[in-house]
Amino acid sequence: MVDEQGRVSGQQFSEKPVLRLARKDILGIQEMSASEISLILDTAESFKEVSTREIKKVPTLRGKTVINLFYEASTRTRTSFEIAAKRLSADTINISTSTSSVAKGETLIDTAKNLEAMNPDCIIIRHSASGAPHLLARLMRVPVINAGDGAHEHPTQALLDLFTVREKKGKLAGLNVAIVGDILHSRVARSNIYGFTKMGAEVHLAGPRTMMPAGVEKLGVRWHSNLREVVPQADVIMMLRIQLERQGSGFFPTLREYSRFFGLNLEVLKEAKPEVLIMHPGPMNRGVEISPEVADGPFSVILDQVTNGVAVRMALLYLLVGGERETDRSSV
């Protein structure tokens, strides 16, 4: 519980949090431990309730500056981070490529160093280049959160997915999780593979062979060429967005063909477990990878994912920014 003064579990926001992450940045799930993930999910539980209050705001990050640096367009992720920061009373600054001096040819590093010089407390970055957030994190003192880098990782998406499954199923260990679609190009899939396997779930992938990364078995998961092979055992079915522009590019022949073999519809869902969870990171191509009846049906937790995204991001901002650091103590 977070009370109206922003105290989490009985501690006041201006004190060091009892619970601390042992890292400066959130770059990927690959480097996280199960206990770190659990700490984040537990903290998110406390913050979820804030968004259901009459006054959806705690003073936890008052006087902190959070920068959203988005080199790729995004509604949901940027909005989710912005709402999370504002409900913690942080000041938020949005920078998107269309309005940035990227057009003037400045390097990413120079842009970031310049922003850091303005004394922000956290930089959230989305970039089309894999590894861009890691580069920044290495060069900056300020916490960096990866909001999606190329086809590499999207750790906050995986954390909200883990949160949603844990909330609905009461556990993660031992669950059978099917991830379906274009694994090769999906940072969401990659982060979720790391996340679910670390938490003790069994991950099965389904999708065209052309869309499977080479050596995917080394990640501790199994590939299936047929959606119907993974559905009956699955506790969770996570559908990935297919990039429409890949049609006819050698990855798959047509959307219709793709949909026929890897689209989730009521017909396929008949073979699923009675308590199965249907997930999708959005934005959905309705009628392609998922039918409207399934997306809006009783097993879908797609909107819960979005709701939980705010809670998870509040938790991350709290854990990374909320506590005083030793180096800040002197200036108080």
For binding to a copy of itself (CB under 8 A), which residues are involved?
14, 51-57, 62-65, 67, 70, 73-76, 78-80, 82-83, 86-87, 91, 93, 95-96, 98-107, 110-111, 113-121, 244, 282-286, 303-304, 306-307, 309-310, 324, 328, 331-332
Q: How far is the CB of 222 from a copy of itself (least distance, A)?
A: 30
Give least dist CB 278 to a copy of itself, A. 15
Q: How many CA atoms lie within 13 A of 13 on its CB side?
A: 23
Give the contacts of 328 (CB within 8 A, at least 6 positions apart). Answer: none
- Please identify, using beta-carbon distances, which residue of 22 and 103 lies nearer to a copy of itself: 103
* Contact (CB, 8 A) for 95 and 70: yes
- Which residue, 84 or 203, is less far from a copy of itself as judged by CB? 84
Q: Active site includes 77?
A: yes
**Residue 178 to residue 54: CA distance in whole angstroms:** 37
CA distances from 120 to 79, 113, 156, 202 (A): 19, 11, 20, 40
Determine contact, residues 20/323, Cβ cutoff 8 Å.
yes
Catalytic residue among 43, 60, 77, 156: 77
Q: Which two tokens stand for residue 321?
A: 């920014």
Tell which residue, 227, 222, 215, 214, has the closest CA to residue 196.
222
Of the candidates 149, 198, 151, which has an alpha carbon nearest to the alpha carbon of residue 40?
198
Catalytic residue among 78, 127, 154, 280: 154
Question: Distances in Å between the alpha carbon of 29 and those of 10, 40, 94, 199, 214?
Answer: 29, 12, 25, 11, 20
CA distance 208 to 182: 7
For a copy of itself, the closer CB: 232 or 292: 292
Neighbours of 327 (CB within 10 A): 8
241 annotated active-site: no
Q: Catalytic annotation on 209?
A: no
CB of 61 to a copy of itself, least distance (A): 9
User: Among residues 126, 134, 185, 187, which one is catalytic?
Assistant: 126
Judge contact between 175 and 165, C-beta under 8 A: yes
Q: How far is the CB of 6 from a copy of itself (least distance, A)?
A: 12
Active-site residue among 16, 23, 62, 76?
76
> Would residue 126 show up in a list of annotated catalytic residues for this protein?
yes
Q: Of 79 and 197, which has the nearer Cβ to a copy of itself?
A: 79
Least separation, in Å, of the C-beta of 329 and a copy of itself?
Answer: 8
Closest CB 25 distance from a copy of itself, rounded Å: 20
Tell me if residue 154 is catalytic: yes
Where in the sequence numbering do the catalytic residues fall?
76-77, 104, 126, 154
